[in-house]
Amino acid sequence: MLTIHVAVDLPLGLDPRGKLNKYATNKLGEHFTNVNGLSLLQHFEIPKFDEIKNKAKEIGSKYLQFRLLSLDMSVDDNQTIRCIEINIIGNEINFFQLNNGPLFGEFTNEVIDYCIDNKQQLYGNYML
């Protein structure tokens, strides 16, 4: 099993198949290809990635009141998928975008259209 320990504030992005990006990014947008002695130029894939995504979707479906969740997931020594923690605040949108492009990916235009079409309702809920 591959265990990757990444320094604080150097998140790694993943492609849709669970393959790690070849760089990590800090808050200034600087890219690093070596983190804690691990060369990211090698080919790394997250084990059981489809199962992890399914578990994350299952967990996320129980937290509909939040607009954005970050889940810390793991595969234990028995190959069981574990959710280590659920982050409901303090999610660094910049990190998501610096590592993988637009936050909503292929759904970006759909989200923009929704916001335009529902502008009054969205702003009305937050006006004092």
Mean pLDDT (the chain) is 82
Q: Is 83 part of a structural domain of the chain? A: yes
CA 68 to chain CA centroid, Å, is 10
> pLDDT, tens digit, for every residue of 76-102?
889 999 999 998 887 778 878 888 888
Backbone dihedral region for residue 37 (phi beyond 0: left; psi -120 to 50: alpha; all else: beta): left
32 located within any domain = no
Identify the domain containing residue 83 by its residue range.
48-90
The Cα 116–Cα 11 span in angstroms is 32
Tokens describing residue 30: 């600087």
Number of folded domains in the chain?
1
pLDDT at 125 (0 to 100) = 61
- What is the pLDDT, as a whole number, of residue 3? 37
The answer to the question of residue 63 being in a domain is yes
